[in-house]
Amino acid sequence: MLTTNEAAERLGVHVTRVRALITAERLPAQKLGRDYVIREADLKLVEDRKPGRPPKSAATGGKK
């Protein structure tokens, strides 16, 4: 289990971003006292996502 500070360090982001991911339910976590703890496996899922915009849909051919 990792704290939000440890998760932020691993992801290379600010702890506020980790809390935002938790609030948006994009990073599962358990409340422990005043903070959250994150499972290694759940953090790995977020680490594996590539940053930036998602690829454009092949159905639209990338055109707007």
Q: Is residue 55 part of a domain?
A: no
Q: Residues 23, 26, 29, 33: what is their CA dihedral angle, to the nearest 10 degrees?
A: -10
Q: What's the rounded Cα separation, in Å, for the pair 59 and 7?
A: 36
pLDDT, greater one: 27 or 63: 27
Using the Cα atoms of residue 33, residue 22, residue 37 and residue 31 in order, give the sign of their dihedral. positive
* Residue 26: domain span: 2-48
How high is the pLDDT of residue 47?
83
pLDDT tens digits, 39-59: 999 999 888 875 666 667 666
Q: Is residue 62 part of a domain?
A: no
Say what the pTM is.
0.73
Assigned token pair, 49: 């996502």
Pairing between strand 35-38 and 30-32?
A: antiparallel
How high is the pLDDT of residue 53?
64
How high is the pLDDT of residue 36?
97
pLDDT tens digits, 2-12: 999 999 999 99
CATH (domain of 27)? 1.10.1660.10
Are the CB atoms for 36 and 19 separated by under 8 Å? yes
